[in-house]
Amino acid sequence: MKTLFLAFSLAPAALLADLAVPHFFSDHMILQRDRAAAIWGKADPHAEVTVSFKGKKVHAKAAADGKWRTNIETGQADASGAILTISSAGKNIAIQDVLVGEVWFASGQSNMSFTMSGSPMYQPLVEASTDPALRMFTAPRIATLEAMEDIDGSWQSADPKNVPRFSAVAYFFARKLRQELGVPVGVIHSSWGGKPIETFTSREALNTLPATKKLVETAIKDDAAFDRNQAKVNYEKQLAQWEAAMASAKQKPAAERGRLPVKPVMGRRALATDGKPGVLFNSMIHPFIGYTMRGAIWYQGEANRNATSAPYEQTLPLMIADWRKRWNDSFSFYYVQLANFGKPTTEPGGEDGWVNVQDAMRRVLQKVPQTGMAVINEVGEAGDIHPKNKKDPGERLALWALAKDYGKQLVYSGPLYQKHEMMKDVVRITFAHAGNGLKTRGPEPLARFEICGADGKWHWAQAKISGKDSIDVSCKDVSKPVAVRYAWAANPEGANLINSEGLPASVFTTQPTKKDES
């Protein structure tokens, strides 16, 4: 049955080999409003192609390889649905129910992949989620050797049948935009859990940093050494061992079986293996390059906790610049800072790769234009790297878009460290995005501030709000402080600094960033 479905789903592309467009140019798609939207595909070599939409008509000519591309003005937002027609050499493609509105691209790892069905608390919302002007295109997870020009998938409208399969963060982001803007919103979602940022970045870009270039060189070397026959031998041996282990387990009572072994998979070439440098860029980012959109949202970083190449403060800007260059568009790029996770710490002075990624994300805001960060250090779960609360991350991303892209006057970020001033034994910290004033979440005094002197030893500090946007930090054991930091832990339980809108403050340190090693 599965094989029959695949054959059927691929049939239209085969029949229209001389006039075809990628799957994301399909029924129920959403085009970016107020812009000339890019449309592309394949036709007969050198053939004339005509694209028509809402009374407008543009022409293109296919190259020798049959590829063509054009742009058509979309006009204002329109939720009524129109037909986009593509014609060439007597053949026509009619794409039905095309809306005009706001388009965003969503990517990252498992917390972006996390679907609405993963949070039972959202079931009532799902059941009432009918909104034909909120739509999502979800790409399948696929890893390929070469850069792909198309990827399977279809546009789905928000309703109780489809929403359970929607990325939860992307859904809440789009839903907030719908509520505030009242125009159609479409999201192209392409993510894969457990994958480092280097796999979403092109190898050409990775080769510009010494540390990430080493990853590429290693992958190329491993790929060249791949022996398919040996991989098959190894797989068959592992499969036999797995089958024996499963047979043995099934002979035991269920209560005594313990964790069942994981079925092995056959080894693959390094340059076609998900997670390897540039692989998911080729398969899950490259197909969409050029799709006209407002911006991108990103939830990733967990897989870079234990950095194996360059620091996240380098790799995130690298990927953003790579995508913007290829789209030829300095689009908005908003990301989720990692949530609190793991066993709460109780002593000052700790270090963790998790918090290093969090703070790197904060620093990227200062160096990369048109970026934004949703702080969620209070919605995580100590024992679950996939917190069920996806509404706050999605809506906090939307606040950045509403303010920066749509001109809404609102507080769109939690407090962000701005500067500090040494005043004898007190350090005054000034924050941006205080709203109408800094405050604490709940009745407890400010917590999770650390301070250190010249000896580099960190102490818990006393912190008090000293102004609308400032906090004074001190410690009786540190007479001459040199640095302050806040929420410096993977799970900074008790961190409670917020602004007037209830948005939490980001982790920060007043220490200058260390010189990154290449």
pLDDT in tens, 479-507: 999 999 999 999 999 999 999 999 999 99
CATH architecture of 416-509: Beta Barrel (2.40)
CATH number 3.30.420.40 is the correct assignment for the domain at 100-245+264-413: no
Listed in order, strand segments (DSSP E) in 453-514 are 458-460, 462-467, 470-474, 483-486, 497-498, 508-509
Q: Where are the alpha helices (DSSP H) in 305-405?
A: 312-327, 353-367, 391-404
Q: Could you count the other beta carbons within 10 Å of the beta carbon of residue 466? A: 15
Encode 210-232: b = buried (16+ Cβ within 10 Å), e = exposed. Answer: ebbbbbbeebeeebeeeeeeeee
What does the pLDDT read at residue 260?
85
Domain parsing of the chain, residue ranges? 100-245+264-413, 416-509
- What the block records as the tokens of 320 is 């953003």
Q: Which residues of the chain have pLDDT under 70?
A: 1-17, 514-518
CA gap 510, 461 in Å, rounded = 14
Chain CA centroid to CA 207, Å: 22
Per-residue pLDDT, 514: 62
Q: Which residues of 451-461 are buried (b: 16+ CB within 10 A; e: fewer)?
A: bbbeeeebbbb
**Pairing assessment for the beta strands 36-43 and 19-20 based on DSSP bridges:** antiparallel
